[in-house]
C-alpha cells in the first residue's frame, strides 16, 4: 500500500474513533489516551476485553466521560 493511502486510512480510523467518542459523550482526547495506553497490553483476540474498551462500555474510566 502506498504511504499516502496508508496515511489516509489511519486518519479515517482516528477520525471515526473521535466522532464515535463524541457521540458517546466521551472526551476524545482522554478516550484516545486511554486506548493508546491499554491496547498494547491486551489480548486483541479476547472479545470480552475488547468490549470493555468500546466507547459505550460501562467499564471505561470516569476520566474518559464528559460530565453532565
- pTM assigned to the model: 0.84
Burial group, residue 22, by CB count within 10 angstroms (0-12, 13-18, 19+): middle
Question: Structural domain of residue 38, as residue ranges?
Answer: 3-64
Q: CA angle at residue 1 from 4 to 10, to 5 degrees?
A: 55
Domain count, the chain: 1
46/49 Cα distance (integer angstroms) = 6
pLDDT band at 2, cuts 50/70/90? confident
pLDDT in tens, 41-54: 999 899 999 999 99
Amino acid at each position: 500500500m502506498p504511504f499516502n493511502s496508508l496515511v489516509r486510512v489511519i486518519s479515517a480510523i482516528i477520525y471515526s474513533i473521535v466522532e464515535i467518542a463524541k457521540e458517546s459523550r466521551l472526551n476524545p482526547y482522554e478516550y484516545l489516551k486511554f486506548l493508546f495506553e491499554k491496547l498494547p497490553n491486551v489480548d486483541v483476540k479476547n472479545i470480552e476485553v475488547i468490549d470493555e474498551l468500546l466507547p459505550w462500555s460501562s467499564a471505561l474510566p470516569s476520566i474518559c466521560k464528559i460530565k453532565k
